[in-house]
């Protein structure tokens, strides 16, 4: 799971290296567009946002959402991620069928 790393206090996942996950997104996009062949690839809920600036849907990462290292989700952050995962798995057409049954 990759989240906002702007609060990082260690070199574990500093910005801008956290952006490298976009390569996965671009790979999935290329696969969808038929530019790549290979096994099925999937893209889950988007967990990144620019801290408290948020994004168009209102999703934000606050200091309370991360643990002391500023990278890993705190209890509040884990719950936030859990809600996003549940929403994604129950609404996405490719996951809904096997997740809900």
CA distance 71 to 91: 28
Q: pLDDT at position 46, please?
A: 80
Helix (H, G, I), strand (E, B) or coil at 90: helix
The 10s digit of each residue's pLDDT in 9-56 is 777 665 566 666 677 778 888 988 999 888 877 777 888 888 899 889
The 10s digit of each residue's pLDDT in 53-91 is 988 989 999 999 999 888 889 999 999 999 999 999 999
CA distance 76 to 10: 20
What sign does the dihedral 23-24-26-30 (CA atoms) show?
positive
> Can you tell me which residue has the tokens 């809920």?
45
């Amino acid at each position: 799971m990759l989240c906002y790393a702007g609060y990082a206090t260690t070199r574990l996942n500093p910005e801008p290296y956290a952006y490298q996950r976009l390569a996965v997104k671009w790979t999935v996009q290329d696969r969808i567009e038929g530019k790549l062949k290979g096994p099925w690839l999937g893209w889950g809920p988007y967990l990144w946002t620019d801290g408290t600036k948020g994004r168009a849907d209102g999703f934000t990462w606050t200091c309370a959402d991360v643990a002391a290292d500023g990278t890993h989700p705190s209890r509040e952050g884990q719950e936030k991620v859990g809600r996003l995962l549940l929403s994604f798995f129950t609404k996405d057409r490719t996951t809904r069928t096997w997740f809900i049954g």
